[in-house]
Amino acid sequence: MCGRNTIFSDKKTIKNDFNVNIWKTEDEYVPTYNLSPTQLSPVLVKNEQRAIYIMRWGFGFQSAMKPIFNARAETLSTKKTFKGLIEKNRCIVLSNGFYEWKNDGNTKIPYFIHHSDGKTIPMAGLCKWDIDQNGNRKLVYTVITKEARTSLKDIHHREPVMLSKSSLSRWINVKSFTEDPLSCLYDNIDRISSYEVTKFVNKSSNDSRECIQRILG
């Protein structure tokens, strides 16, 4: 599962690290240490060139339904919501790390999971146009998840698909990719670390560097 994210890299770093050619609505980018579903964040796509769009996290605007903010890798090709998007609507969700809560009896302990070298993590996603409550077309995305690697299973049994450099290129290359794109989802970044943070992050409206403050012990 991935239900709380971060993206606080500066625009120049993102552009350089991901060879971005175009950044649409660049002025809408707001770095965040506590990103929740329904909020906006930068997403990388490729048609002719690599481009970043600001998109809403989660499919579906209906007030009676929760947004679909995760998609299981194991069932992408069979779920009606996702299978029609695999060929042409693949994207990269940019992240500096995400939060998961570990069950400890009656308590849930928040952890920050990040790249060991502090790099921006490319998460596999799917995106599409959706219609909001006012009838306006909006770009939305969902994050693909898979079974957690051994080092993270103690915290949570699922993790977002965090792509290696080679699988990133193949995942977003929707124009000339000839392999089964789902084969990319199991070629992941190795250097992932985690540490316990304070419960300050539990409140979604708290959005500052304090969210990723490590608990020393």
| For the chain, the helix, strand and coil percentages under 3-state DSSP, each to the nearest 5 | 20, 40, 40
Candidates 2, 127, 184, 211; catalytic one: 2
Q: Where are the beta strands (DSSP E) in 3-86?
A: 5-7, 22-23, 32-35, 40-46, 50-57, 70-72
Q: What is the 3-state secondary structure (H, E, C) of 92-161?
A: EEEECEEEEEEEECCEEEEEEEEECCCCCEEEEEEEEEEECCCCCEEEEEEEEEEECCCCCCCCCCEEEC
Strand partners of residue 51 = 22, 45
**Cα 71-186-147 angle, rounded to 5 deg:** 55
Cα separation of 110 and 200, whole Å? 9
Candidates 74, 87, 91, 100; catalytic one: 100
Strands 137-147 and 50-57: parallel
**2 part of the active site:** yes
Cα separation of 155 and 16, whole Å? 32
**48 part of the active site:** no
Sequence length of the chain is 217
Give the type of residue at 70: N
The set of catalytic residues is 2, 100
